Chain A
């Protein structure tokens, strides 16, 4: 095996980097192959990959605990808008 390839195939830092880049962007065919070989032999990075995707899902499906503005704020805002409109 060539030195550079060997280095990447056993490198978790590089593998996790490629996992992120693959999920959200593009990686080359050579990188995809390196990643595939790495993941086949590295259960820790497979766990990372699963959890990485879970985190993306958790982030995008977030619901604010207080999903609405309070009434005082809205009343205040309404008054400001009407005042601005009356200026013209």
Chain B
């Protein structure tokens, strides 16, 4: 009885899925989704492909409660989280670096900015779209220099507005490590922007 019911549901659901049209309908959308979060063309392409192939394997599990696009988006989100997780497990040593490099920006005894590292105004009109675009390109180059773990933490927090507890669970970080990384990442990005802007 139960088996019959499951089989019926699957048939109905399968009618709502049209894998032959996926590439045309969703490939660019999923690619952009991954690019926004990973900033790496190769990885983003691979994840789009992996997502479709994984979805094909899971056709029978699709439950019709969400539509095709939402379902595929959920799959690529998981793939992105897996990618972050792999990156971060490779980079446990980076955590030690976090604390060491902190000494470079601030005085050890009182926490004041060291004078060469004091933030200077960029002297730009933040409403000028051309300047903002230019600054965005510099930021992109700066992001590529970040340790993978820092980038993962920063991207997960900003792009998906995830609760920090969830990010910590995914990347196996403590709450205090999470905030140390967020702080360090921002200080680094800001310094990198200033260096290449002026």
Q: Which residues of A contact B (CB under 8 A)?
A: 7, 10-14, 16-17, 20-21, 24-25, 44-45, 47-48, 51-52, 54-56, 58-62, 64, 66-69, 73-74, 77-78, 80-82, 84-85
Q: Which residues of B contact A (CB under 8 A)?
A: 19-20, 22-24, 27-28, 31-32, 35-36, 39, 41, 45, 48-49, 52-53, 56, 102, 105-106, 110-113, 118-122, 126, 132, 135-136, 139-140, 143, 154-155, 157-159, 164, 179, 182-183, 186-187, 189-190, 193-194
- Specify the main secondary structure of chain B where it touches its partner: helix
- Specify the main secondary structure of chain A where it touches its partner: helix
Of the candidates A12, A25, A66, the one whose C-beta lies within 8 Å of that of B111 is A12
Chain A min CB distance to B87 (Å): 18
Tell me whether A77 and B23 are in contact (CB under 8 A).
yes
Tell me whether B182 and A20 are in contact (CB under 8 A).
yes
How many A-B residue pairs have C-beta atoms within 8 angstroms? Tell me.
121
Tell me whether A78 and B23 are in contact (CB under 8 A).
yes
Chain A min CB distance to B5 (Å): 22
Query: Could you tell me the distance between the alpha carbons of A74 and B52 in the complex, rounded to whole angstroms?
Result: 12
Tell me whether A54 and B187 are in contact (CB under 8 A).
no
Tell me whether B19 and A48 are in contact (CB under 8 A).
no
Of the candidates A13, A47, A56, A80, the one whose C-beta lies within 8 Å of that of B102 is A13
Across-interface contacts of B189 in A (CB, < 8 A): 55
